[in-house]
């Protein structure tokens, strides 16, 4: 819906989602930085916290190793390994314990066959291909005036949106598992738990924001396709 050369769909749909994404990224960075300065009373490190969360859930075959970078923490189901960033692995902070426990939550999901995680893993091949081809197909369709290519690109892009949608329960569930173990077994004190929860909540919001951006883009593509069809 252009208006005097301005793409109003971008302003109405994409811009608010991008601003939300920027806010979410700022929140996770600032909260992690804040609670990285708060040392745990029991001196537990991120790596030790991940190991304890795994042990309390009966998972014993997952490796925990350091990885370069900042906030690069992740669980890799292909190698069955939790990789913790430099600011988490050896750190004795509330933020480090919270993030490490969250990644252990993903390992537990994988070990216990958590359905949304299995579904997300199953569509990764389609999502990977679709995310690479979606926009080139849409642009090629617009240039050549071929509605079929545009619609195929939108279909591929919708798989990426679906992947991010399925990611939400996976991320929220991992945090829930982590916080439950940290609280029930006293790995963090009652005074420390709110800090860990704030860090993980902020991290979860980045996934919500990513989904919002993708949904906004999908709606914009659909609007472009419909407007072109009316011509």
Q: What is the largest CA-CA distance in the chain?
A: 68
Are 202 and 24 in contact by the 8 Å Cβ rule? The answer is yes
Chain centre to alpha carbon of residue 55: 25
Buried b (16+ CB within 10 A) or exposed e, 58-93: ebeebebeebeeeeebebbeeeeebbbbebbbebbb
Measured between alpha carbons, how far is 103 from 200 in angstroms, rounded to an integer? 11
Say whether 65 is catalytic.
no
Contact 171, 11 (CB under 8 A): no
Q: Which residue among 48, 103, 171, 192 is the active-site one? A: 103
DSSP 67-110: ESSSS--EEETTTTEEEEEHHHHS--BHHHHHHHHHHHHHHHHH
Q: Does residue 193 contact residue 178 with C-beta atoms inside 8 Å?
A: no
Quick check: 198 and 10 in contact, CB under 8 A? no
C-beta of residue 111 within 8 angstroms of C-beta of residue 44 = no
Residue 149: φ, ψ to 5°:
-65, -40
Q: What amino acid positions are annotated as catalytic residues?
A: 103
């Amino acid at each position: 819906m252009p208006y005097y050369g301005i793409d109003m769909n971008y302003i109405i749909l994409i811009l608010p989602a991008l601003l939300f994404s920027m806010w979410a990224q700022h929140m996770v960075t600032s909260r992690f930085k804040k609670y990285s300065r708060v040392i745990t009373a029991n001196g537990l490190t991120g790596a030790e916290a991940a190991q304890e969360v795994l042990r309390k859930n009966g998972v014993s075959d997952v490796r925990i190793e350091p990885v370069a970078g900042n906030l690069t923490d992740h669980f890799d189901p292909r190698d069955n390994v939790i990789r913790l960033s430099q600011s988490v692995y050896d750190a004795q902070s509330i933020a480090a314990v919270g993030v490490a426990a969250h990644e252990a939550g993903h390992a537990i999901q994988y070990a216990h066959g958590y359905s949304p995680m299995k579904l997300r893993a199953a569509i990764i091949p389609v999502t990977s291909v679709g995310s690479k081809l979606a926009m080139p197909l849409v642009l090629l369709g617009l240039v050549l005036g071929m509605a079929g290519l545009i619609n195929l690109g939108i279909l591929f892009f919708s798989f990426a949106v679906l992947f991010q949608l399925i990611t939400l329960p996976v991320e929220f569930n991992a945090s829930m598992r982590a916080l439950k173990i940290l609280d029930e077994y006293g790995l963090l004190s009652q005074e420390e738990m709110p800090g860990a929860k704030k860090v993980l909540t902020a991290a979860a919001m980045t996934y919500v924001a990513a989904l919002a951006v993708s949904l906004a883009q999908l709606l914009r593509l659909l609007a472009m396709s419909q407007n072109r069809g009316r011509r």
